[in-house]
Amino acid sequence: MTVAMATTPNGSKALSNGVFATNRTRIVLVIALVATWLFAGLLPSYKQTVKNLTQKKYNEAIGHFPALKVDWHPRVDSEVQFNSSKVALLIEGRPIPHLVPQLLHMISILPPDWRFKFIGTNKSVMSVSRSFATQHQALNGKLDLVVLPKPWAVDSKEDVYRMLTDLRFYNDHLSEVEWMLKFESDSIMCANSGETLDDWLHYDWAGASRSKNDNFAGNGGLSLRRISTVKRILGFQSRYNDTEPEDEWFGKRITVLPGAKVASGTEENHFSVEDTWFEKPIGYHIRDMGKTLADDVWKSPEKRKANFDYCPELAMIMPMKLERERCEGEDKEGNILL
Ligand SMILES: *[C@@H]1O[C@H](CO)[C@@H](O)[C@H](O)[C@H]1NC(C)=O
Ligand SMILES: *[C@@H]1O[C@H](CO)[C@@H](O)[C@H](O)[C@H]1NC(C)=O
Ligand SMILES: *[C@@H]1O[C@H](CO)[C@@H](O)[C@H](O)[C@H]1NC(C)=O
């Protein structure tokens, strides 16, 4: 009895609990089933939505693709990145093979705020602009590649002399420029130099000295010029056509111009080296692409070695026959020993 008594309430309780539990489980089951059906019903359209979204994004990405390529370049406004009053100018009408590496080298050597301008012919500008590296510099606002319209021409040295001694050229094409580094296809600056071009900005003109005790380092193949001073001279002087080279013409005038500061050939002879040797200059100009080398700089094998050790970039602009293609029995200074 006690057992039955004990069992009955427990049993009925268990039974009623069991029924209740079963009912709750059923309800949960039904809800779960309904939810599953609903889900299953939604699934295809869900799939479709995801697919549509993905397709849309994909199409958008494809649509953006060319724009992405164009937007890639100027992260910084070129006006902020570069100082428009500092320009390195190279004028060259011939499509010389080393123009691209020479330009890129010069870009890497000059302080980063300097801009570059290459003035050439259709042919030389085309040859320079074919390189990806120069295209990048041009799109970035660092480098201008230009063919000037008539009356300007760059086919001969005299054309270039006329251009550089014409006030209109500075007003029309270098209007914002105050400091101009003029370099040529046969001049180079040396990465091993401890100096920066910006150290020379207080000069109105600095170039290479022509002789040992030259009072003016004025040779223009690799020279820094102050454009306001150049314009001052051109304001009251004009060069006759077919006379002396522009650097000599300017030199005669700038050395007597009141207030102008020119690099002295005896004290500041290390800006560029052309005719007179100096240890560790900022750069070299090797006139006529090495056809008429100055004895003082190139004749002795020791000086040649010193030049090339200090400035290996010289090899870029020189024919490099000096060391290798020599005659038998020659003393390395151009004399045949018998
Ligand atoms: C450009 O450079 C010159 C000389 O270094 C400097 O005086 C001038 O402030 C610079 N201009 C700008 C806009 O940075
Ligand atoms: C240079 O190219 C331009 C445009 O392509 C052309 O109009 C011009 O005549 C060319 N000049 C020379 C000198 O070939
Ligand atoms: C010098 O040459 C230019 C062409 O480059 C010409 O326009 C000018 O008239 C010439 N000047 C003289 C004085 O002959």
Question: Which residue's CA is the closest to the ligand 1 atom numbered 12?
Answer: 83
**For a pocket test of ligand 1, which of 77, 83, 203 has the largest count of ligand atoms closer than 8 A to its C-beta?**
83
Question: Rounded to whole angstroms, how far apart are CA atoms 23 and 46?
Answer: 33
CA distance 160 to 69: 38
Give me the tens of pLDDT residue by residue for the chain, a chain 338 residues long: 333 343 334 444 444 444 455 577 777 777 777 777 776 666 555 555 556 666 777 666 655 654 444 444 555 566 678 999 999 999 999 999 999 999 999 999 999 999 999 999 999 999 999 999 999 999 999 999 999 999 999 999 999 999 999 999 999 999 999 999 999 999 999 999 999 999 999 999 999 988 888 888 889 999 999 999 999 999 999 999 999 999 999 999 999 999 999 988 777 768 899 988 988 999 999 988 777 889 999 999 999 999 999 999 999 998 766 555 667 777 777 777 76
Helix, strand, or coil (residue 207):
strand
The pair of structure tokens assigned to 257 is 């111009």
| Minimal-distance CA residue to ligand 3 atom 10 | 241
* Cβ atoms 322, 298 nearer than 8 A: yes
What's the gap in Å between 92 CA and the centre of ligand 3?
21
Report the distance separating Cα 147 and Cα 23, nearest Å: 92
Residue closest by Cα to atom 6 of ligand 3? 241
- pTM of the predicted protein model: 0.75
String of DSSP letters for 42-85: HHHHHHHHHHHHHHHHHHHHHHHHHHHHHHTS-SS-HHHHS-TT
Taking the centre of ligand 3 as the mean of its atom positions, its distance from the CA of residue 98, in whole angstroms, is: 32
Substitution candidate for ligand 3 out of 240, 241, 246 with most atoms within 8 A of CB: 241
Label the pairing between strands 219-226 and 179-183: antiparallel
Architecture per CATH, 84-322: Alpha-Beta Complex (3.90)
Q: Distance between CA atoms of 129 and 309, rounded to whole angstroms?
A: 31
Domain ranges of the chain: 17-59, 84-322
Which ligand neighbours the alpha carbon of 176 most closely? 1
